[in-house]
Amino acid sequence: MLSFGLCIAALVTIFVSYWVHRWRNPRCNGVLPPGSMGLPLLGETLHLLIPGRSLDMHPFLKKRIQRYGTIFRTSLAGRPVVVSADAEFNHNIFLQEGRSVELWYLDTFSKLFNQDGESRTNGVGSVHRFVRSIVLNHFGPERLKEKMLSQIEEMVDKTLHNWSSQSAIEVKHAVSTMVFDFTAKYMFSYDPEKSSEKVGENMGVLLKGLMSFPLNIPGTEFHKCMKAQKKVMSLIKEKMKEKRSSPEAYQGDLLDQAIKEMETETFLTEDFVIPFIFGALFASFESISSALTLAFGLLSEHPLVVEELMAENNAILKSRGENVDSPFTWDEYRSMSFTPQVVNEILRLSNVAPGLLRRSLKEIHANGYTIPAGWTIMLATSAQQLDPNTFKDPLVFNPWRWKELDANVISKNYMPFGGGMRQCAGAEYSKAFMAAFLHVVVTKYRWTKIKGGDISRTPFLDFGKGMHIKVSAKA
């Protein structure tokens, strides 16, 4: 009996040893990038979840880039991953969209945005053209030029006036609500004053849930995240039902166009449109709100930047002559030089997400390494934007650096909105929104940071207990 038990123990030991060996040494028809696969199943996921306490790139990336170079392998959430901070490699991967690679999500992303199976391979051909076209129709340069930019200015002024009546506001929460409410209005005619659910006030839990284990159990971050997602999804679904049943509900928003095109495009179903609008809404509100929150912290510490911002934006007011209170125009926005540099620098440093995910459709050979088919590729654009070889003193807030940077260097290393055919169609909307916000805040208001402002990367940009400021109107 003892010998039988010893045989079983020996077999188990051999099996486990073989399993661990295979985990740490995946099959490959070439040379894998250097790195470690971590623990079986868990991989190095826990290392990614340990926060970094500064604006610097997340320690998970920084330590491995220092050890292995700009391309390395790891395992996250049970999946083999190649991480790249190599500008040329990443540029080429963007160009291979739909041929060698496809868009990909980890499990928490997939569940949050209802992306799985066929739907996550999506955005090629007619689907991608529809998504890009409809976003540009409602948030692109033409719509901004036509009326949206002045409406952003008006909304920002109203919001800041409201903030000035309060003893203090927590920036991330307040800005998130502002951006969500405005963007949702143009996406599906959301009106926070008429809605029983103040959805914008609860959207902050989404980002925390994205980097948690996908356990939908009460009390977990992922459960809170999914509850917030359900509220927004239900809100969009109700709006869709209302619009489809009553022509009077048509207001020319993005959802209206989607409903109209559902009559001719077979891929446009309710199950596609609702998650698409939710995803577009989340992407815009989170990137803008995080960047503007960081802006308050950075500008509070750099009075010379504020001084030059004021000079440029006050010059715009002066150029209006007697019409000083006329709306902020597209021509005024495009005439700016320093304000866009400030926006670029804020976006470079904010790096809301650590990178962009793709999946290899076939073996990829680059830099002497082989990436097997089916592996996830993380394009670590956040590391590129903090590379000292490209951006001197990368952690220094220096908007003036953008006067000297070469356009080719920028195109391959500065990608806050992605790259290639999947570059975010809402990029101009985000930049114009930030510029309009800065225009209003430096010409009409002043602020003082009261407390908070601690920054960490989780690996997403996080502001801990928040940044609290006091806003007051200029005399």
User: Which residues lie below 8 Å from residue 23, measured CB to CB, with a gap of 6+?
Assistant: 37, 40, 75
**Which has the closest alpha carbon to 29: 362, 444, 333, 276?**
362
* pLDDT for 123: 47
Distance CA 295, CA 397 (A): 10
Residue at 242: amino acid letter: E
Asked whether 179 and 289 are in contact (CB, 8 A), the reply is yes
**Which has the closest alpha carbon to 140: 236, 240, 286, 254?**
254
**Which has the closest alpha carbon to 236: 294, 280, 277?**
277
What CATH architecture applies to the domain 29-122+355-385?
A: 2-Layer Sandwich (3.30)
* pLDDT for 11: 57
Burial level of 276, CB count in 10 A (0-12/13-18/19+)? Answer: buried
Respond yes or no on whether the N-terminal peptide bond of residue 141 is cis (omega within 30° of 0): no
Asked whether 68 and 34 are in contact (CB, 8 A), the reply is yes
- Altogether, the residues listed in the chain come to a count of 475
225 in a labelled binding site: no
**Which has the closest alpha carbon to 280: 425, 143, 141, 423?**
425
User: Which residues lie below 8 Å from residue 234, measured CB to CB, with a gap of 6+?
Assistant: none
Rounded to the nearest angstrom, the gap between the alpha carbon of residue 461 and the centroid of all alpha carbons in its chain is 10
Residues 152-178 have pLDDT tens digits of 999 999 999 999 999 999 999 999 999
* pLDDT for 162: 97
Distance CA 387, CA 395 (A): 9
Residue at 399: amino acid letter: P
How do 71-76 and 467-473 pair as beta strands?
unpaired
Residue stretches of the chain with pLDDT short of 50: 15, 18-19, 21, 116-123
* pLDDT for 21: 47
Find the angle CA(5)-CA(6)-CA(7) to the nearest 5 degrees. Answer: 90
Q: Cα dihedral sign for 390, 392, 394, 397?
A: negative
The domain spans of the chain are 29-122+355-385
How do 71-76 and 369-371 pair as beta strands?
unpaired
* pLDDT for 355: 87
